[in-house]
A and B are shown apart, each in its own frame.
Chain A
Amino acid sequence: MRYGDKVAVDGLSLTVERATITAVLGPNGAGKTTTLETCEGYRRPHRGAVRVLGLDPVRDRRDLLPRIGVMLQGGGAWSGVRAMEMLDHVARLHAHPLDTGMLSERLGLGECGRTPYRRLSGGQQQRLGLAMALVGRPEIAFVDEPTAGMDPQARRTTWELLDELRRDGVTVVLTTHYLDEAEQLADQVHIIDRGRLIASGTPEELTRGSSATVRLVVDQELPVDAESALRSSVARWSTEHGVGVRSISFGSRTLEDVFLELTGRGLGHE
């Protein structure tokens, strides 16, 4: 997938199982949205093939679209339209939509139903976007950063909802740069960076890894020079015993550690 000369997503290959949650994890600009939009048929891959439900998203777009739900990263509604009016409109384009009253209630949009879109908060716009993606009862929901800009409570509600979707047999593909979101929610995590897939697996597989981890817990605050002192001791020990040290981390190992190891960069706030 290219934009001009710039290769945005390159040789990315991944498969998604039905009724699972797949997280595409990566920093800003990694190619998450491009990957999703290629699955949604917005973009034609420069090389390679994409199949969604066995269909070519570009060639078979008309057959595919009724079967998928799409949540864009932002926007997607008229500025003067009321929240419920917009949701009802999208529902009317489908044959067997969900009850929009119940859906909006579930997403906590009950009290802002008559509010014009431009006056909704960022989090409310996100939740309306999610509702629009789900109202048509899709087989696959592609959700681009579903909880960006949400307060912790709304995030929790959204996570519960996505979990419920999986239980009811909906396949969810989401992008995120929140590590805890991927860790808590996803069956499969694909980490991409600079348009390349750099690691795939369940959160457990990714955090476990094949090598042994030694954890050192100390009983006080470390002095400022402790890190360099420890590193040089470890390096000495490593040469003496012929054991390669892949990484030394200070703090507890999380998915973020894995990510840092793999990309050498933090997420979102570089």
Chain B
Amino acid sequence: MSELDFTPRPGGATLRRQVLAQARMEARLMLRNGEQLLLAVVVPVLVLIGGVTAGEHLALDLETSRPLVDIFTPGVLALAVMSTSFTSLAIATGFERRYGVIKRLGSSPLPRSGLLAGKVGALLMVQLLQVIVIGAVGQLLGWTPEPGVLGVALAILLGTAAFASLGLFVAGVLRAEATLAVANLVYLLLMAGGGVVLPLSAYGAFGDVVRWLPSGALGEAMRTAFLDGGVAWRDLGVLIIWAVLGTALTARTFKWE
């Protein structure tokens, strides 16, 4: 066996390399976890296929002349962003606190800001994969997207910011098991009644309320970007408000250990 030389030669890698390493590591772990993968890819794809086929059978009336797949696919993309940025992040972070991962990384050269950047990087990597898979399934179902690139990018980024800050808030104040339960429950409630997959018109008068939820705002922003190629400034503004609120709550309450 060759000799190991322990002579001190300390130093952190460049911040960019550290953040990239952290992001790739977290993304890999997220995709390796069966339940997380279910949430990230399988559920959205099933919702998309189920929504489009059932909607056609039931002759669902969404007060629009567009094919159902054109309305559902952007909504399912919004759902994917929500599931990763909120539910997956909250659960993963809750267990990281429990297992001492955050404490351990706290004594490594990676600063807290780098850890946070790594988490956001991991979310964006996973979401890119989700967009590719869901987009492909949508196209198989006849989706012909004409996206406004700015609108889509802003919706994904601000949706990620809003939901990730809320996810970290939940993970920071609750124990890991409670985080698991709450993150899944909120996800189910918002998926069913939060205006993500179905447009506001499907909610009747209740739509005015749903629009102020982060889920409704993200869904609308995504549909506007894909259906009209536009930028839904009002809905993006709602997402910014949620992001500011979530960040403030997290900053006040989050404990790294």
Contact = CB atoms under 8 A, between A and B. Distances in A.
Interface of A: 40-42, 62, 65-68, 70, 72, 74-81, 85, 89-90, 92-96, 98-99, 102-103, 105-106, 132, 134, 136-139, 164-165, 168-170
Contact of B25 (A40, A89, A96, A103): A89
Nearest to B92: A78
Nearest to B28: A85
Interface in B36-77: none
Interface in B199-250: none
B4 A106 contact: yes
Contact of A95 (B13, B21, B25, B106): B13
Interface stretch (B97-105, B133-141, B152-160, B182-190): B97-105
Contacts of A68: 10, 107
B4 A65 contact: no
Given A93-B21, A102-B2, A106-B4, A78 B96 contact: yes
Nearest to B106: A42
A227 B30 CA distance: 65
B9 A137 contact: yes
Given A80-B32, A90-B108, 12 more contacts: A66-B12, A66-B109, A76-B99, A78-B29, A93-B18, A95-B13, A96-B9, A98-B4, A99-B4, A132-B104, A136-B108, A136-B109
A85 B185 CA distance: 32
A100 to B, nearest CB: 11
Nearest to B104: A76
B15 to A, nearest CB: 10
Nearest to A67: B10
A81 B101 CA distance: 11
Contacts of A164: 4, 6
Contact of B104 (A41, A77, A96, A99): A77
A132 B108 CA distance: 9
A95 B1 contact: no
B111 interface: yes
6 contacts: A41-B107, A66-B11, A106-B4, A137-B6, A138-B10, A139-B8
B17 interface: yes
A40 B108 CA distance: 11
Contacts of B6: 98, 134, 137, 164-165, 168-170
A75 B100 CA distance: 5
A65 B21 contact: no
Given A75-B99, A132-B104, A169 B10 contact: no
Contacts of A62: 111
A132 B22 CA distance: 15
